[in-house]
Amino acid sequence: MWMLRWLFLGSAAILAIASATAQTYDPSYPVCLQRWEWGGSTYFECAYTSWDQCRATTIGLAAMCVENPYWQRPQPRRSAGRLRSSAPY
């Protein structure tokens, strides 16, 4: 009887383990689409250059647009060792 319990417990543990997938964020794009799928899983698709482009894709989907945490913003150019300021003095 105890063997049957261990067999049942082991089978349940194996079935409960979900396969892990690596999540990738493309640092080339500033906006990602977070999409929910049946069963509660989510994934991110970072392939959008603007919020409007991402929002147009979310129409009719269980999804939302988020900022890509790995996108590197363009750095201001340096000129002769000083940062240029667009504000008047």
Q: Which domain holds residue 46?
A: 29-71
Domain count, the chain: 1
Domain membership flag for residue 21: no
Percent of the chain whose pLDDT exceeds 70: 70
Considering the domain boundaries, does residue 79 fall inside one? no
Residue 45 domain-assigned (yes or no): yes
**pLDDT reading at 59 higher than 90:** yes
Query: What is the separation of C-alpha 48 from the centre of its chain, rounded to a whole number of angstroms?
Result: 12
For residue 61, tell me if it sits in a domain. yes
Q: Which residues pair with 67 in a beta bridge?
A: 31
pLDDT band at 34; cut points 50, 70, 90: very high
Q: What local confidence, expressed as pLDDT, does residue 13 receive? A: 65
Between residues 78 and 40, which one has the greater pLDDT? 40
Asked, for residue 56, whether it belongs to a domain, the answer is yes
Please name the residue that has the structure tokens 């000129």: 79
Do 84 and 76 meet the contact criterion of CB atoms below 8 Å apart?
A: yes
Contact 54, 28 (CB under 8 A): no
Determine the pLDDT at residue 66. Answer: 93
